[in-house]
Structure 1
Amino acid sequence: MPGKKVSMPLAVRIARWSRRLSWPIVKGLFILSVVLFVGGGLSYLFNRSDSDPLQMLRWAKSLAYAAFLLGVIRAYWEKIRQRYRTINLQHSEGHVVVCGIGDFGQSLVDAFLDKGYKVAVIELNAAHTEVVSLKSRGVVVIHTDASDPAALYEVNASKARYLFAVTGNDRRNVKIIRAARQTVLDEQNSGGDSDLRCYCHITDATLFEVFSQHEVFEAAHDGFYASLFNVHDAASRFLLEKYPPDAFAALPAAGSEPLEVVIVGQTRMGEALIRQLARIGHYLRWHSVQITVIDKEADAFEHFFSSYRDISPLDDTLVPGVTVRLVRKDPEKIKFVADLDAGDLGNPALVCCCLDDETLNIALALNLRRMLDNDDAPIVACLTSGLSDLLQEKQCRYLSQRNIHSFNPYRFASDFQVLLDDAADKIARAIHQAYLDSLSGENVADNPSLVPWQQLSEEKKNANRWQADHLSVKLREMGYDQRGVAAIDAVVDDPVWLEKLSELEHRRWMAALYLDGWRYAETGKDAVRKTHACLVPYERLSQVEKGKDDTMIRNIKHLVESPEWQTYTAFVDKR
C-alpha cells in the first residue's frame, strides 16, 4: 500500500529549487552574455543597420556582471549562511550544543532537530563526512577543539539549554564540561542568567569512578548541572529489560544447570552487557549464570576480566554466582555448526551479537539461528547506524519471524524520554524517595544519602539504579506476570518466600558492590577504602541487616503501584 504523500512547505521547496537551479542559471547567464557580446561585436564590425550593437554589448556586460555576482554568492553561500546562523546564535537561548559527530553525536542531532531545537555542532575534523549534510539541515557547525573556551563562546554555550560532550575522547569530554562551567560563571558574573545541563560521555570505568566524585559532577550548581553517562551501560540496562534471559530460559531439571547467555564480540557493548548480567543475573530458579563470550582476541578478554579477578579464586567467576568463559573463535568464520566445538554455544536463553561490523552482526545472527536447537531464545543484533531503523520488527518480517531483533544503543540513549525525562531512572528515583521517607527523622550530616535525587553523587544514584534493574527479575520470580499484585501479597505474607527473596536481594547487592570495587572487611564500612563487613552470605548477616533486605521486598508492591512504574513499563513496551 503506497504511503500517504506528504506536502512540503513552500519555503522548503523554494530553497531546494534555488540550490538545484542556481548553477544552471549562472551558466545560462554567462553563455547568454557571451552570445550577446559576440553578436554585438559582429554587428559593429559589419555595420549592420537592423541591430544596435552598443545595446547588445551593454546587455552582454550586464548579464556578465549578473552571472559573476550570482556565481560568487553561490560559491560562498554556505559560508555566508553559516556565518549568519552563528551570529544569530549569539542572540539565541535554549539551543543545543553537541561536541563531536560520531554515531551517537549524529543520533543526538537527529533527535533534537526532530523536536524543533536549534542545534550547534563543534567538530574538530572539517573533513567529516556528515558536515555537509548537517549544514544543509540548518545546523551551525564550528571546526575547532570543543575544549577551547573560545569555541563554546562562539556557540553561546552559556545560553544553551543542553550541551553534550561526545567526542570519543574521555579526557577531552571532561575538559569540555569544565570549560562550559567557566562560560556559565562568566555569564553570571556579567549579570546574565544561565540554565545549562551538560552531559559528559565517559567510556573508561576508572575515569568514570574518579570523576563521578568530582565536584563538577557530584552535585548541581546554580545555573549549571553536569552528569556523566555511558551509552553502552545505559543501553545494556534497557536491552536486558527488553529481552530478559530468565523469561526465555527453560526451567532447570534439577536446579543445577546454569542460565546461559552468549555474547559475540568483546566490544564496549559486549563488556557492558557482561557487567549488567553480573549485576542482575541472580535468581531463585537458577543458582548460577554462565556467560559465554565468543571472540578471537584473548588479550581483550583477559584485560577486562583481570579487573575483577580478585573477587573469587575461581578463574571463571566474575562475581559469586556468575561465571564467564571465552570461546576463542573468529566470529567472521562462524558459518556452520562445524565451525564451533561441542558445547561452545550450549543452550542459551539469549544471544547478543555485539561486533562493531553491523553487516557481520546480521549475518552472524542468521547463522546462529540455524545452529541453535532452541528457537525460543531471542538473538539480538546491535546496530549503531540507520540500518537499525530499516530492520524494525514491524518492517522486517524476515528477521522477526526468526526471533532475531535489531537494537541500536545510540538511538535508545538519544531518546528524549531517556535524555530529558530520565525515563530509565523512574524506578530508581522512586526507590530513593522511599528510602528518604523511611528515614525522615535522621540528620543529613549523619547520612549523606538523605538528599534529593539531583543532589546524589553518581555512585549513590547507581546503587539505586542497580536495585531498580533487578525489580523485574523479582517480579517474575513471584509470578507477577500471571497473578498481578496478589502474587506480591502472597510472598510478603509467607515468611519462607520472604526470606528467599531477601536472600536474593542480598546476593544482588553484593554483586553490585563487587563490580564497583568493594571488598570484604571484618568490621564496619569504609567508603574510602571500599570495604564492607556485610559482604558475606545472607545467613551470616545480623537481624538488623537482614531487615534492610526484608524492607526492600516489602516495598515492591508500593513501587509496582506507583505512577513511575507505569511510566517505565510503558516506555519499555513501546520500544
Structure 2
Amino acid sequence: MKTVVSTERSSGSDLRRGEFLPFLILVLLLVGGFVLHRHGAGQDGVQAAFSTIRLLLVEDSANRGDFVRYGWESLWPLYQWLRIAVPVVASWLLVRSYLTLIGSNGNWLLARFWPHNVLILGGDAQGRRLALEHRERGERVAVLTLDAANGANSELMQRGVKVFGGNALNLRNLKWLAGTRASVVYILAGVDSVNLKILDVLMRLHSEGGWRGTDKRSQICLVHIQDDFLAARVTDVNWLQRNGERCQVRVFNVWKNCARRLLSDDSLAPHCLVPRGVQPHVLMLGFSSLGRSILEQLAHLGHYPDRQRAMLTVASPDADTIEPRVHASFPVLTPNALAHGVHGHHLNPLIDISFISAPTDGLTTARLSRLPAVTIAYICTATLEEGIAATHSLLMTTPDQQFPIVLCTQDAVHTEVHRQINNYPRCHVFNAYDAGLKLEKNEPVLNEFTEREAAIVYLHFGQNSLVDSLAAQTRPRNGDSRSSVLLWDRTFNEHWFAAQEWERESSRDVVRHLHVKRHYFNQLEGEISEQDQRNLSELEHQRWCAERLLQGWRYAPNTDRSKRRHASLCAFHDLPIEEQNKDYTIVGVSRLLARARIASK
C-alpha cells in the first residue's frame, strides 16, 4: 500500500519541460553562431549568433543576398533546410512535452474549467479505491500521481476520474488542481515524511489564496499519518489562520480505521461473541501494523459494563522484541503502571496482555491447551502467504473448537483466493484494502451526519438542557419523519472548526462506540432501566479514560490540558456528581442520536 512519490522537486517535474524548450533552441543557435565565427565568418561570435537568429526568424531579411554579404553563400542550402527543420522539431518537442504534461488522461489546461470536488494526491491502491467510491457518489474526482501511466489507473479513467501526472510536492501542480475549488484533498503518499511535506506545500498554497473550496467551511485536508507522534504535531499546530478563515486538517490512519471497522462487526468483535460476565480472550498470530491498531482499539474499548476486560495473547517469532515495545508505547497496559485515583485506587489495566514466542504457523495443541478458552483469533501477519499458512495451521491444531478465525490482510486479495478461504469452516477474511478508507454510511471518513453527531456532543457536552434541546430538534416536522434528522447549525460549524483535532476526534469516538453500547443495551430506541443507564454511563467513562490514557494523559488533582493532566481520570464512583452527570448526558445523547440515525435512513 505504498505510493511512489518522489521527494525531488525539480528533476521529476513534468511541468517544466516545456519551459526549457525556447532556452534550448536559443542555446543551439548561439552555438551555431560561434561555429560559424570559427570557420572564418569574420564577425564576433555573439554578433554571428544573433545574425543567425535574425536570419532564421525574420523572413524579410532572410534572402540569398544577405548570405552573400556576410560571406555565407555556401551555407544557403543549410539555411533552407533549417527553415523547415527547426519549426518541425520545435513543434514536435512542444507536442511531446504537452502530452507528458497532461499525463495519461485529462488536460491540465482544462483543469481550471473542470471543477472537481475531491483531489487525491497519491495513486496507490487505497487512493484508487477511494477515488472510485467518491465517483460512485456522483462527485468529480481528480488524482495526481507520478505513476499516471500505470495500467491500474485505466479503470479510474473509464469511470470518469481525471488522472494527472506530476509531483504533488510541486507548488505549481497544486495550483492547477487545488485551485479548481476542490473542497476535500486527500494526501496518500504512503510515507509520513512525504505526506507532511505535501501538507506544508498545500497549506502554503491555501495561505496564498490558491486553494479556495466551493464552501469555505468545507476546506478539509485529510492526511494519512501512521506515526502517532507526527499526527499529534499536525493536529496541535494551527496550520492556517487567514482572515478569520481556517482550513480544517484531519489526520487519519488507515490501520486504525480498519481496526475500528473490524471491532464494529458483531460477528467478528470479541465482546459480541461472549455472554455477559465472561472475559473475552483474543488470540493474535503475528503483529503487523494492523495488529498493533487492533490492540489499541481493544484497549480503547476499556472495561465492559459487566466489569470484564479483554484478554489478548500475541504469538509471534519475535515476541521478545515486540513485548518491550508494546509496553513502552502503551504503558497503561502494564499492571500498576497508572497513577493513583482520588482515594488511592489504582486504575486497572485496560486489557490483560501476554506474549508467546513461537512461529505464527507453529503453535502446538499442547501450547494452546494451556491458554484460556479462545473467543476469536486474528491472523495479523506481514504477508498474505504467511497469513494463509498460519490460518491452515491453526485449523489443523484446533479441529474440535469453534472460535472464528479472521485472516486480516494488508494487501488486496484476489476474489478467488478470498472465496476459497471463506469456504474453510469458521474462517473469515478481513481485507484492509476494502475496509481502510471505504466510504460506508455507518462510519465513513467524511460523513455529514457523523460530523453533526460529534459536533453536538462536543458543543453541548455537560449542559443540562442538552437532552431537551436535542429532543426539540429531532421532533418530526409536518409529519415527515426525515425532518427529525439533526440540523446543522451555523454556530455549531464555527465552534466545531475552531476546536483542536484531538477534541473533534474524541467526540467522534463517542459516536463510533455506539455499537459497543448497543451490544449490551439494544434498547437505545426505547426506555432503559435506571441500573442499565448507570452501567452505560460507567462504560462511557471507562472508554473515555482508556482513550485519554492511551493518548498520554495522566491523573492529577487539578486539570491542566497543556500538560495532559486531568482530574477525572479515576473510577466512576470517585467522580463528583456533576462529572457523573456528564456521562449520563452522553447516554441521553446516544439514544437520541440513534433515533435520528434511524429516521435518516
**TM-score with structure 1 length normalisation?**
0.69
Of residues 261, 264, 277 in structure 2, which corresponds to 1:241?
264
Moved more, 508-517 or 99-108: 99-108
Of residues 104, 116, 124 in structure 2, which corresponds to 1:94?
116
* Unaligned runs of at least 5 residues, structure 2: 1-91, 339-345, 469-490
Of residues 461, 479, 497 in structure 1, which corresponds to 2:504?
461
Of residues 127, 137, 157 in structure 2, which corresponds to 1:105?
127
Instruction: State the Cα deviation string for residues 218-252 of structure 1 (Å, max 9, x = none).
Output: 99974843321111112211110113212212555
Q: State the 1:355 CA deviation.
A: 2.0
- Counterpart of 1:38? none
Alignment partners' CA distance in 1, 2:138 and 2:281: 45
Matched, 1:214 2:237: yes
Q: State the 1:207 CA deviation.
A: 1.3
Alignment of 1:355-366 (within 5 A): 355-366=381-392
Instruction: State the Cα deviation string for residues 413-458 of structure 1 (Å, max 9, x = none).
Output: 43334144256656544534653864679xxxxxx99964444322
AA in 2 matched with 1:170: D
The answer as to whether partners of 2:119 and 2:184 remain within 8 angstroms in 1 is yes
- Counterpart of 1:540? 574
Alignment partners' CA distance in 2, 1:269 and 1:191: 34
Moved more, 448-457 or 410-419: 448-457
- Counterpart of 1:287? 308
- Counterpart of 2:41? none
- The percent of aligned pairs where both chains have the same amino acid is 21
User: Judging changes above 3 Å, is the alpha-carbon distance between structure 1 residues 311 and 342 closer, same or farther for their aligned structure 2 residues?
Assistant: closer
Alignment partners' CA distance in 1, 2:347 and 2:96: 60
Q: State the 1:286 CA deviation.
A: 5.0
- Counterpart of 1:564? 597
Matched, 1:502 2:527: no
- Counterpart of 1:274? 295
SS at 1:91 equivalent: coil
User: Judging changes above 3 Å, is the alpha-carbon distance between structure 1 residues 471 and 374 closer, same or farther for their aligned structure 2 residues?
Assistant: farther
User: Judging changes above 3 Å, is the alpha-carbon distance between structure 1 residues 509 and 400 closer, same or farther for their aligned structure 2 residues?
Assistant: farther
Q: State the 1:188 CA deviation.
A: 5.8
AA in 2 matched with 1:99: L
- Counterpart of 1:408? 431
Alignment partners' CA distance in 2, 1:501 and 1:181: 42
AA in 1 matched with 2:259: S
SS at 1:167 equivalent: coil
User: Judging changes above 3 Å, is the alpha-carbon distance between structure 1 residues 454 and 103 closer, same or farther for their aligned structure 2 residues?
Assistant: same
The answer as to whether partners of 1:261 and 1:349 remain within 8 angstroms in 2 is yes
Of residues 335, 349, 353 in structure 1, which corresponds to 2:375?
349
Alignment of 1:120-199 (within 5 A): 120-124=142-146, 130=152, 139-144=162-167, 146-187=168-209, 196-199=219-222
User: Judging changes above 3 Å, is the alpha-carbon distance between structure 1 residues 321 and 129 closer, same or farther for their aligned structure 2 residues?
Assistant: same
Instruction: State the Cα deviation string for residues 380-437 of structure 1 (Å, max 9, x = none).
Output: 2223444265566xxx376156232222334334333414425665654453465386
User: Judging changes above 3 Å, is the alpha-carbon distance between structure 1 residues 192 and 272 closer, same or farther for their aligned structure 2 residues?
Assistant: closer
How many residues in Structure 1 have an aligned counterpart in Structure 2? Answer: 471
Alignment partners' CA distance in 1, 2:347 and 2:126: 30
* Unaligned runs of at least 5 residues, structure 1: 1-70, 442-447, 571-575
- Counterpart of 1:519? 554
- The Cα RMSD (Å) is 4.2
Of residues 296, 304, 309 in structure 1, which corresponds to 2:331?
309
AA in 1 matched with 2:537: S
User: Judging changes above 3 Å, is the alpha-carbon distance between structure 1 residues 380 and 414 closer, same or farther for their aligned structure 2 residues?
Assistant: same
Alignment partners' CA distance in 1, 2:307 and 2:150: 49
User: Judging changes above 3 Å, is the alpha-carbon distance between structure 1 residues 390 and 543 closer, same or farther for their aligned structure 2 residues?
Assistant: same
- Counterpart of 2:351? 322
SS at 1:509 equivalent: helix
Q: State the 1:308 CA deviation.
A: 2.5
Of residues 213, 216, 226 in structure 2, which corresponds to 1:203?
226
Moved more, 87-96 or 201-210: 87-96
- Counterpart of 1:378? 404
Matched, 1:261 2:282: yes
Alignment partners' CA distance in 1, 2:545 and 2:274: 24
Alignment partners' CA distance in 2, 1:416 and 1:512: 24
Q: State the 1:200 CA deviation.
A: 0.8
- Counterpart of 1:228? 251
Instruction: State the Cα deviation string for residues 437-496 of structure 1 (Å, max 9, x = none).
Output: 64679xxxxxx9996444432211222233334333333333x2xx6745xx3423x4xx
The answer as to whether partners of 1:294 and 1:329 remain within 8 angstroms in 2 is yes
Instruction: State the Cα deviation string for residues 33-86 of structure 1 (Å, max 9, x = none).
Output: xxxxxxxxxxxxxxxxxxxxxxxxxxxxxxxxxxxxxx9999999748638622
User: Judging changes above 3 Å, is the alpha-carbon distance between structure 1 residues 288 and 115 closer, same or farther for their aligned structure 2 residues?
Assistant: closer
Alignment partners' CA distance in 1, 2:593 and 2:147: 47
SS at 2:249 equivalent: strand
AA in 1 matched with 2:562: V
The answer as to whether partners of 2:148 and 2:163 remain within 8 angstroms in 1 is no
SS at 1:215 equivalent: coil
User: Judging changes above 3 Å, is the alpha-carbon distance between structure 1 residues 208 and 74 closer, same or farther for their aligned structure 2 residues?
Assistant: closer
**TM-score with structure 2 length normalisation?**
0.67
Q: State the 1:116 CA deviation.
A: 5.9
SS at 1:159 equivalent: coil
Alignment partners' CA distance in 2, 1:261 and 1:518: 26
User: Judging changes above 3 Å, is the alpha-carbon distance between structure 1 residues 423 and 367 closer, same or farther for their aligned structure 2 residues?
Assistant: farther
Alignment partners' CA distance in 2, 1:191 and 1:322: 44
Q: State the 1:87 CA deviation.
A: 2.4
The answer as to whether partners of 1:263 and 1:291 remain within 8 angstroms in 2 is yes
AA in 1 matched with 2:282: V
AA in 2 matched with 1:226: V
Alignment of 1:486-501 (within 5 A): 486=526, 489-492=527-530, 494=531, 497-501=532-536
SS at 1:168 equivalent: coil
AA in 2 matched with 1:550: Y
User: Judging changes above 3 Å, is the alpha-carbon distance between structure 1 residues 217 and 111 closer, same or farther for their aligned structure 2 residues?
Assistant: farther
Alignment partners' CA distance in 2, 1:517 and 1:537: 18
Of residues 318, 322, 327 in structure 2, which corresponds to 1:297?
318
User: Judging changes above 3 Å, is the alpha-carbon distance between structure 1 residues 370 and 210 closer, same or farther for their aligned structure 2 residues?
Assistant: same
SS at 1:153 equivalent: helix
Q: State the 1:354 CA deviation.
A: 2.2
The answer as to whether partners of 1:436 and 1:450 remain within 8 angstroms in 2 is no
User: Judging changes above 3 Å, is the alpha-carbon distance between structure 1 residues 547 and 435 closer, same or farther for their aligned structure 2 residues?
Assistant: closer
Alignment partners' CA distance in 2, 1:490 and 1:423: 25
Alignment partners' CA distance in 1, 2:273 and 2:213: 59
AA in 1 matched with 2:234: F
The answer as to whether partners of 1:525 and 1:531 remain within 8 angstroms in 2 is yes
- Counterpart of 2:513? 470
Alignment partners' CA distance in 2, 1:109 and 1:423: 21
User: Judging changes above 3 Å, is the alpha-carbon distance between structure 1 residues 402 and 449 closer, same or farther for their aligned structure 2 residues?
Assistant: same
